[in-house]
Amino acid sequence: MIRLSAAVLIAAALFAAPAAAQQAVLLRYAPPAGQVSHYRTASQTWMQIPGMPSDSTRPTMTRTLYQTRTVTAVEAGTRTVTTTVDSSVQDLGPMTGMMPGGDIFRGITITQRLDSLGDVSSADVTTPPDANPMIAQAMRSQASQRQFLLPARRVSPGDTWTSSDTMPLGEAQGGGHAIIELTYTLVKVDRSGGSPLATISMTGAMSSDNPGAQGAPQGQMTGTMVFDLDAGRLAHSTTTMTAQVQSPDGGQMPVRTVSTTDLLP
């Protein structure tokens, strides 16, 4: 009888182990006050610019930003986060002379208030006195856009949730907003190392409420992000955007952008 009971317990433990690994988790953006994170964001963009030769093997534009993100306050689940661009590198390739290049983002500071799901309730951008007005406008448009959205409920691998976000196109481009609809899926939670890491995939579409506006997109987005559950912060993300963008001459310009963000040691 004792042997039978031991066998039953061992079998139960073996069957319970996979179930425990798949247990539901609560994903929350919850870094403590004072947490400092250093990130590198690198992007590559391919565009077919009218009247200019294109090379599918070489990006039309590359950009790398090094940023320091500091949680300056935590109040009732809302975090005030300040992100400063420490340095930037931008290679415009064939567009050299058409747009400002070099270390043009250095010194720009973004202050945001975010809830535990990643929603941005307010955003403010401070630029150096000599900052290019076009760059300052672009950063202000992006500052209010959330980087991710976590689910309100506990989720297990395979569970999905959705988000909808908008980004102003700017009055100079004809007004309106870019609309981003995403579906997130929890892929796995890896507890084999130190801090548990949640891998999340995302896929969705981009459109515009003013399709005729310059820069209005129509296309798809895919990506993956890794979230550090103990530190309550993003550890890695990769996104790919493939779209047709409204060009100044009224035509459609194919654009593909691949962006990767990594938490640095």
Q: pLDDT tens for residues 166-204?
A: 877 766 556 788 899 999 999 999 988 789 999 999 999
* Cβ-contact 24, 154 below 8 angstroms: yes
Residue 19 included in any domain: no
| Residue 103: inside a domain | yes
Residue range 198-229, pLDDT digits in tens: 999 999 999 988 877 777 889 999 999 999 99
| Residue 172, helix vs strand vs coil | helix
More confident of the two residues 25 and 94: 25
Expressed as residue numbers, the domain containing 39 is: 25-264
pLDDT tens digits, 125-161: 999 888 777 777 778 777 888 899 999 999 999 999 9
Q: How many domains does the chain have?
A: 1
The enclosing domain of 244 has a CATH number of: 2.30.230
Residue 230 domain-assigned (yes or no): yes
How much is the pLDDT for 20?
42
Q: Is residue 10 part of a domain?
A: no
Q: Is 102 exposed, middle or buried (0-12, 13-18, 19+ CB in 10 A)?
A: exposed
In a domain, residue 9? The reply is: no
CA distance 218 to 234: 27
pLDDT-above-70 percentage for the chain: 82
Tell me how far apart the alpha carbons of residues 127 and 45 are, in angstroms, rounded to a whole number: 25
Q: Of 8-12, 35-39, 150-154, which gets the smallest average pLDDT?
A: 8-12
Assess if residue 214 is contained within a domain. yes
Phi, psi dihedrals of residue 236, rounded to the nearest 5°: -165, 145
Q: Give the separation between CA 257 and CA 262, rounded to whole angstroms.
A: 17
Alpha helices (H) in the chain, listed in sequence order: 2-21, 133-143
| pTM, entire model | 0.83
Q: Is residue 40 part of a domain?
A: yes
Polymer length in residues for the chain: 265
Q: What is the mean pLDDT of residues 88-95?
A: 78
List all residues 6 or more positions away from 131 whose beta carbon is below 8 Å from its beta carbon: 104, 107, 108
Does residue 18 fall inside a structural domain? no
Q: How far apart are CA 7 and CA 244, in angstroms?
A: 62
**Using 50, 70 and 90 to split pLDDT, how confident is the model at 100?**
low
